[in-house]
Amino acid sequence: MFPFMTGEDGVVRVNDNDLTQYANILMVDNTRVGFSHTLDPTYMVTDYDMLAEELYAALTQFFLLFPDVKRSVYIGGTSAAAFKIPPLGEMILRRNRTVVDLSGVIIGDGFVDLETDVSKVGDYMYNFGLIEKAVARNTSNTLEALHATSKAGNSELTTYYFIAGISDEINKRIGQYDGILTYQSSIATLYNLDWYGQNCLRTKQFRRSQVWVSGQLFGYIRRCFGLWEVLAIQSPHVVQLKKPKALWLMAYRFMKNTTSQGSAPHGFDSHRGRNLF
Amino acid at residue number 28: V
Amino acid 39: pLDDT: 75
Residues spanned by the domain of 169: 114-183
Amino acid 164: pLDDT: 52
Domain endpoint, select from 129, 154, 183: 183
Across the chain, the runs of DSSP E, i.e. the strands, are 4-6, 12-14, 73-78, 102-108, 209-213, 216-224, 227-232, 268-269, 274-276
pLDDT classification of 221: cutoffs 50, 70, 90 = very high
Do residue 221 and residue 233 come from a single domain?
Answer: yes
Amino acid 210: pLDDT: 92
CA distances from 114 to 111, 183, 192 (A): 6, 14, 12
Residue 51 clears pLDDT 60, i.e. is over it: yes
Amino acid 263: pLDDT: 40
User: Could you give the number of structural domains in the chain?
Assistant: 3
User: For residues 20 and 148, which has the higher predicted lDDT (pLDDT)?
Assistant: 20
Do residue 94 and residue 118 come from a single domain?
Answer: no
**For the ranges 98-107, 119-128, 161-170, the one whose mean pLDDT is highest:** 98-107
Cβ atoms of 109 and 237 closer than 8 Å? yes
Residues 110-134 have a mean pLDDT of 71
Do residue 66 and residue 142 come from a single domain?
Answer: no
Amino acid 277: pLDDT: 52
Cβ atoms of 256 and 266 closer than 8 Å? yes
Residue 264 clears pLDDT 60, i.e. is over it: no
Do residue 85 and residue 172 come from a single domain?
Answer: no
Q: CA 131, 133, 137 angle in degrees (round to 5)?
A: 105
Residue 268 clears pLDDT 50, i.e. is over it: no
Residues 4-31 have a mean pLDDT of 79
Residues 61-69 have a mean pLDDT of 87
Residue 271 within a domain: no
Give the DSSP H or E segment for 209: strand 209-213
User: For residues 198 and 43, which has the higher predicted lDDT (pLDDT)?
Assistant: 198
Residues 37-61 have a mean pLDDT of 82
Pairing label, strands 209-213, 274-276: parallel
Residue 35 clears pLDDT 70, i.e. is over it: no
**Of the ranges 109-123, 154-168, 208-222, 261-275, which one carries the lowest mean pLDDT score?**
261-275
Percent of the chain at pLDDT exceeding 70: 68
Residues 182-198 have a mean pLDDT of 82
Residue 53 within a domain: yes
Residues 147-155 have a mean pLDDT of 57
Percent of the chain at pLDDT exceeding 90: 3
Amino acid 193: pLDDT: 82
**Span 246-260, pLDDT tens digits:** 888 888 888 888 754
Residue 189 within a domain: no
Residues 51-58 have a mean pLDDT of 87
Do residue 150 and residue 105 come from a single domain?
Answer: no
Summary mean pLDDT of the chain: 75
Do residue 175 and residue 229 come from a single domain?
Answer: no
User: For residues 13 and 56, which has the higher predicted lDDT (pLDDT)?
Assistant: 56
Do residue 23 and residue 45 come from a single domain?
Answer: yes
